[in-house]
Amino acid sequence: MRSGEKFQYVCVGKILKARGVFGWVKVQPFTSPQRFKEIGRVFLNGEPKKIEGVKPQKPFLLLKLEGIEDRNQAEAFSGSSLLIPSSERPPLPEGEFYVDDLKGLKVLSDSGETIGELFEVWPLAGNDVFLIRDSWGNTVMVPALKEAVKEVNFQGGFIVVMDWGIVR
């Protein structure tokens, strides 16, 4: 975790709907499906819930969570987020970053121009795309490629991108 981290919890998935009559839920994972087997518990509406079962159903997952015993209970959580403490995120390889850590960073061009603030990352098939809000409220896009992103500096709170990668 970097100092002054904004998020105490991070979202690892979203419950889409109930599945079956025994309390299983269908989940859109925001992390590796394998990760749900490793973390052991998630927070659902502020309450810790032990993960009792995981079934891959690409691109989704089916989860059995402690205390959710039937379809009616499962349906009550449709649309809810599954959270874990930020401190439990695994370390990433060099050059990879968690989206939540990137959000809110100032974005500069390699020529020194302030582009704006990164507010979202779109995961696309070829590569992710940084979405940046400029001072006029417009959205600026930059491909999240090593060739386009020159520097990510968490201490300084900024990202430097190559001028050629900026799409206005």
pLDDT at res. 71? 97
Contact indicator for 158, 105 with CB cutoff of 8 Å: yes
Closest CA to 60 of 95, 96, 33: 33
CA atoms within 13 A on the CB side of 36: 27
The residue written with tokens 């992390």 in the block is 31
Closest CA to 3 of 70, 62, 86: 86
Q: Which residues of 105-128 are buried (b: 16+ CB within 10 A; e: fewer)?
A: bbbbbeeeeebbbbeebeeeeeee
pLDDT at res. 4? 43
**What domains can you pick out in the chain, each with its CATH number?**
9-88 (2.40.30.60), 99-165 (2.30.30.240)
pLDDT at res. 7? 55
> Per-residue pLDDT for the chain (168 aa), expressed as one digit of tens each?
344 445 589 889 999 999 999 999 999 988 888 889 889 999 999 999 999 999 999 889 999 999 999 999 999 999 999 999 988 888 888 888 888 889 999 999 999 999 999 999 988 888 899 999 999 999 999 999 999 999 999 999 999 999 887 887
Closest CA to 44 of 21, 22, 68: 68
CA distance 37 to 33: 8
pLDDT at res. 92? 82
E strands present in 41-136: 41-44, 47-57, 60-65, 81-85, 106-109, 114-123, 128-133
pTM to 2 decimal places:
0.66
